[in-house]
Amino acid sequence: MNNLGFIGYETKETHNSIVFLVRLPRILLAVLIGGGLACSGAAFQTIFRNPLVSPDILGVSAGAGFGAALAMLYRFPQWLVQLSALSFGLLAVALTLIVAKATKRTEITVTLLGGIVVTALFGALVGVVKILADPWNTLPSIVFWLLGSLGRAAPRDLLTVLPATALGLGLLFLYRYRIDALAAGDDEAKTMGVEPQRVRLAVVGAATLVTAVGVSVCGMVGWIGLVVPHLARIWGGPAFRSLLIRSFALGAILTLAIDDLIRSIEAAELPLGVMTALLGTPIFLILLLRSGRIWR
Amino acid sequence: MSLTIEGLSFGYRKNRPIVEGLDLLIPEGRVTALLGSNGAGKTTLLRLLLGLLRPWKGTISLGGLDLTKLSVAQRSRLAAYVPQLSDPAFPSPVSEIVLAARFSTLGLGRSPTSKDWDEITEALELMGITELADRPFLDLSGGEKRKALIARALAQKAQLMVLDEPTANLDPAAQADCLNTLKRLAERSGRTIIMASHFPDHALWSSDLAVLLKDGKVLASGPVQQTINPDNLSALYGRPFTVAQTERLPDGRTIRICVPLLGKSA
């Protein structure tokens, strides 16, 4: 391990350990997960032509949360927790889309309603898991994890988060122009030579992968996926190819800043998910009141 | 390339055809107007041409290629669509809306080249809306939006252009402007242009040919001046019509105007 002598102090092995084994992984995870959630949100909003969708609202987060909680209940190893989060995240978004399709209506609200139903279902299932969990041991870890925190982040989490996020965001980058075509609506996209169903399938898979792997490490961190894409759109317009990059940058910076804020509050370390909600809600409200219609 | 439709049938429900055994020949470099009452099958026919619906049977061929057998991407190189309205989900500028026409030609992961941007510039120039390029599409007037959508279809470089009621919701000046543009486009670019319309007058002003569609079948088709006559219009809309001839207009034209007569339906 390198000696970190860059600020003139002599460093001890423990300092190096703190930086490389605790701080650095936490910083990298905050960047990857925050950026990833923001990019997923931007992708979902564009392909569903709906500025109000986000991984939380489509049920992805709730599904992934349930999947992870279930695996934690049975004390599965970390990689199985992540796999379970991913599977249930995909299942949840599939259910949302099935519910929306079953109504045979095309309004954007139908997708939101489907998401609300699915989120409620998985919320209830998480409740069942909590009741079944051992109150001395498993339950506290599930509860703290659900509130969202990077406090337990470990270097080994990077082994799954880094490749999964890179793969998911890489796919979104490859599809960046086709995703823009979908913003015009399915009929128009199709006459312009882009198959909406095919693109949507790939994008939902990629964005769910990124979200679920994030949720499986740091729990339910809401609002980043909803609010950051709007800020990124105000910053530089809605074209997805550049929105993706701006969303990642903003999501990463915001999450990292919030996590640092949390660590520097002395009294108690607030969960990350609580903090993003405390900050995300007023930002969303300001956006809503400022323009009346935040998406146009 | 002319468009040949043979034995085309389609319906949304089993045994309830909307379009039945349709045969049509639509020549290139002309504007063809598709007229018919509500529910006659105009929109269904347009959607079939664009591959948005799959026919029960029959063929639609453009220059010998059967459009119904092509992939979505291949078809988009041959047929382009100008919808009545486009409602992009986010506030993109006009240039970005038009650029979407080029997306399917990009390989996965590739960015548009300078050639793609040239096509966009050319399409905007052809429609005379170069100065609108950076304006948000949603802020445009109805007529400007229609022009931007036609520019997008042009940038797709497809031989066939299909328009769904291009004059709907436009003021009279914008209607005349739009129709004149289509006529000019067909003449200059040699494209095959098909427009659905509720206005026989608009067909008389701008089209070379008219196809009258009733209950999913062709009631009459041919050169517009002969096809649009009182008898055909009465049969088409179920109400007596008269076709009046104007005096010589200040722009030198003498045009014909179709007026439905009051009183009982035929």
Best interface-test mutation with B: which of A192, A242, A245 has the largest number of B CBs within 10 A? A192
pLDDT at B47 over 90: yes
| CATH of residue A104 | 1.10.3470.10
Residue A41: C-alpha distances to residues A46, A272, B148 (Å):
9, 18, 29
Best interface-test mutation with B: which of A169, A191, A199, A295 has the largest number of B CBs within 10 A? A191
Mark yes or no for CB contact A193/B75 under 8 Å. Answer: yes
Is residue B264 very low, low, confident or very high in pLDDT (cuts 50, 70, 90)?
Answer: low
| Count of domains for chain A | 2
Chain A contact for B109, CB < 8 A?
yes
DSSP character at residue B136: B
Rg over CA atoms, chain A: 19
Same domain? A182 vs A281: no
What single letter denotes the amino acid at residue B44?
T
Same domain? A171 vs A193: yes
Interface pTM (ipTM) of the complex?
0.91
Q: Residue A4's pLDDT is what?
A: 53
Structure tokens at A154: 């470990």
Same domain? A236 vs A272: yes
Nearest 5°: phi and psi at B129? -125, 30
| Location of structure tokens 């220059």 | B63
Per the CB < 8 A criterion, the answer to whether B89 and A179 are in contact is no
Residue B10: C-alpha distances to residues A5, A83, A85, A149 (Å):
77, 46, 45, 57
Q: Residue A7's pLDDT is what?
A: 57
- pLDDT tens string, chain A, 296 residues long: the values are 445 555 556 667 777 777 777 789 999 999 999 999 999 999 999 998 888 888 888 898 899 999 999 999 998 888 888 889 889 998 998 999 898 888 877 666 788 789 899 999 999 999 999 999 988 888 988 888 888 888 777 888 898 899 999 999 999 999 999 999 998 988 999 999 999 888 988 998 899 999 988 888 888 888 999 999 999 998 888 999 999 999 999 999 999 999 999 888 877 778 888 889 899 999 888 888 876 554 54
Per-residue pLDDT tens over the stretch B184-214: 999 988 899 999 999 999 999 999 999 999 9
Would you call A158 exposed, middle or buried from its count of C-beta atoms within 10 A (0-12, 13-18, 19+)? Answer: middle
User: Pick from A188, A193, A238: which is nearest to B83 by CB?
Assistant: A188
CA–CA dist A214, A225 (Å, integer):
12
Average the pLDDT over each of A111-115, A118-122, B6-10, B139-143 and give the range with the smallest value: A111-115
pLDDT at B220 over 60: yes
Q: Residue A105's pLDDT is what?
A: 75
Same domain? A266 vs A209: no
The pLDDT mean for chain B works out to: 92
Average pLDDT over residues B85-93: 89
Q: Residue A271's pLDDT is what?
A: 87
Q: Residue A293's pLDDT is what?
A: 52
In a domain, A45, yes or no: no
Same domain? A253 vs A127: no
**Residue-range definition of the domain harbouring residue A232:** 221-296
Per the CB < 8 A criterion, the answer to whether A1 and A24 are in contact is no
Same domain? A254 vs A125: no
In a domain, A240, yes or no: yes
Mark yes or no for CB contact A192/B50 under 8 Å. Answer: no
Same domain? A261 vs A209: no
Structure tokens at A235: 């910053």
Surface of B (27-86) touching A: CB under 8 A: 50-52, 72-77, 79-81, 83, 86
Per the CB < 8 A criterion, the answer to whether A279 and A287 are in contact is no
Q: Residue A296's pLDDT is what?
A: 47
Per-residue pLDDT tens over the stretch A161-213: 999 999 999 999 999 999 999 989 889 999 999 998 889 889 988 999 999 88
Q: Which residues of A touch B92 (CB under 8 A)?
A: 183, 237-239
In a domain, A237, yes or no: yes
Residue B121: C-alpha distances to residues A164, A211, B191 (Å):
40, 39, 19
Same domain? A193 vs A281: no
Counted across chains A and B, CB pairs separated by less than 8 A come out at 98
In a domain, A44, yes or no: no
Same domain? A262 vs A287: yes
> Looking at CA atoms only, how far is residue B44 from chain A in angstroms?
13
Domain final position from A216, A238, A253 = A216
Crossing angle (nearest 10°) for helices A155-174 and A78-102: 30
In a domain, A18, yes or no: no
Q: Which residue of B has its CA nearest to A47?
A: B89
Same domain? A212 vs A75: yes
Domain final position from A166, A187, A216 = A216
In a domain, A292, yes or no: yes
Q: Residue A182's pLDDT is what?
A: 92
Mark yes or no for CB contact B89/A51 under 8 Å. Answer: yes
Per-residue pLDDT tens over the stretch B162-185: 999 999 989 999 999 999 999 999
Per-residue pLDDT tens over the stretch B101-124: 998 888 888 899 999 999 999 999
CA–CA dist A156, B62 (Å, integer):
59
CA–CA dist A202, A232 (Å, integer):
23
> From the CB of residue A236, how many other CB atoms can be counted at a distance below 10 Å?
11
In a domain, A31, yes or no: no
Same domain? A104 vs A193: yes
Mark yes or no for CB contact A180/B89 under 8 Å. Answer: no
Chain A contact for B88, CB < 8 A?
yes
Q: Which residues of B touch A177 (CB under 8 A)?
A: 103, 106, 111-112
Same domain? A99 vs A230: no
Residue A185: C-alpha distances to residues A107, A230, B197 (Å):
12, 20, 23
User: Pick from B88, B104, B112: which is nearest to A184 by CB?
Assistant: B88
In a domain, A27, yes or no: no
